[in-house]
Amino acid sequence: MSALRIGVVGATGAVGETLLRVLEERRVPVEHLAAFGSRDRDAAVRYRGAMLDVRSTTGEALADRDVVFFAGGESLGERFFTDLAARGIYCIDNNPTFRLRNEIPLIVPEINATALDERHRILPVGNCTAILLALALAPIRDTAGLREVVVSTYQAASGAGRAGLEELDRGQRALALGEYEAPAVVFPAQLAGNVVPQVGSFDADGWSGEERKVAAETKKMLELPDLEVSATCVRVPVRTAHAESILVRTERPTTREALQAAFENAPGLAFHSDEIVTPRDVEGRDEVHVARLRADGNDGTRFALWCTGDQLRKGAATNAVQILELLIARGYLQ
Ligand SMILES: NC(=O)c1ccc[n+]([C@@H]2O[C@H](COP(=O)([O-])OP(=O)(O)OC[C@H]3O[C@@H](n4cnc5c(N)ncnc54)[C@H](OP(=O)(O)O)[C@@H]3O)[C@@H](O)[C@H]2O)c1
């Protein structure tokens, strides 16, 4: 395979910066990397020890790439994908726009790599909370089937990008100075010293956008369209790494020991049988961490667990780079 010409749109953002780091760490055979954003800036992002210029994103500038990662604004893909796909360029997209289209797979390589085939040029990366959840649920599905999932999330500020992180940092500085109120702009209420039970806007039935995405995308990733998933998504004053408290009902009775064995053998997971694991422990790591596994009741069909993972890595950048690695391994980029 020849070395690749890669584009990263949104390279100055929280996900884009992580993408550059993950591409470097995983030694992806990149011949040339071009960084894009909303406007031109010289020497604005670091890649392989050098500062790269960031250029404004145009179809023309993207057209000589083999693969383009999109980690910019939500509607960007629609502007460029048709043209790029027609040229045979693979678009790996962190935006939600295309994730639930029937003809487009939603690849989490550890779970559903078989859904990818050579014709697919638009490859969305799932919602970060849903990727972590699906990875934690897949071993349960494979051991005893899955009937119902109830999840409450504890989502980090960087899930709302750079602006979210900056708002948390400003709020925490204000609190440290004894100023109780820090104005909320990115989040619907002050996040510093608080928890905020709203991620995204509410629909007419009272569900938030994030809650809808988590339910629909988890079902698609696990290829379980009839699974019942109920999510309550909450923002917490943590910089990076989401956590989730999960209650599942299985199709068939099983045991804590059988699930523990399944978690210990699952790719992309780290299982903790005794100790707790927190977002701080997993920042910068690629695995999803599962802990606090408990049987709930005596009939062997209800279990509670905790999971946490770095949503900028496995929930976004690492999963995106793993999709590229899959394309390479399959020989689609010859
Ligand atoms: N943060 C997460 O945990 C996470 C997880 C999964 C998926 N995502 C998704 O990933 C995408 C990026 O999120 P983020 O958190 O990295 O956001 P972010 O920190 O706010 O960064 C946004 C990036 O998009 C660029 N951008 C904005 N408008 C643009 C335009 N018109 N043309 C080209 N580039 C543009 C910005 O470039 P400038 O610096 O030039 O403005 C910046 O590089 C979003 O779609 C988000 O939903 C985020």
Taking only the tens place, the pLDDT of each residue in 144-196 is 999 999 999 999 999 999 999 999 999 999 999 998 777 899 999 999 999 99
pTM higher than 0.85: yes
The yes-or-no verdict on residue 2 having pLDDT over 80 is no
Q: Which atom of ligand 1 is nearest to the CA of 161?
A: 15
Q: Is 72 in the pocket of ligand 1 (CB under 6 A)?
A: yes
Long-range contacts of 260-264 (CB under 8 A, 24+ apart): 260/293, 262/139, 262/140, 262/142, 262/143, 263/139, 263/290, 263/293
Tell me, yes or no, whether 207 and 294 share the same domain. Answer: yes
What pLDDT band is residue 56 in, cutting at 50, 70 and 90? very high
- Measured by CA distance, the residue closest to atom 31 of ligand 1 is 38
Q: Report the pLDDT value the prediction gives residue 182, as an integer from 0 to 100.
A: 76
Ligand 1 centroid–CA 255 distance in Å is 42
Instruction: Tell me whether residue 196 is in a domain.
Output: yes
Residue nearest atom 4 of ligand 1, based on CA coordinates:
159
Q: Decide if 242 is catalytic.
A: yes
* pLDDT score, position 49: 95
Mean pLDDT lowest among 73-77, 120-124, 222-226, 291-295: 73-77
Q: What length is written for the chain?
A: 334
The domain in which residue 23 lies consists of 4-126+316-329
Q: In what order do the strands lie in the sheet with 50-56?
A: 41-47, 50-56, 30-37, 4-9, 67-70, 90-93, 122-124
Look at residue 334 and tell me if it is in a domain: no
Counted domains in the chain: 2
Residues 68 and 26 occupy one common structural domain: yes
Q: Are residues 30 and 140 in the same domain?
A: no
Tell me, yes or no, if 91 is annotated catalytic: no
Residues 162 and 277 in one domain: yes
User: Is residue 29, in this structure, part of any structural domain at all?
Assistant: yes
Claim to verify: residue 36 and residue 60 sit in the same structural domain? yes
Q: Are residues 139 and 229 in the same domain?
A: yes
Q: Which ligand 1 atom lies nearest to the CA of residue 70?
A: 11
Q: Inform me whether the pLDDT recorded for 73 exceeds 80.
A: no
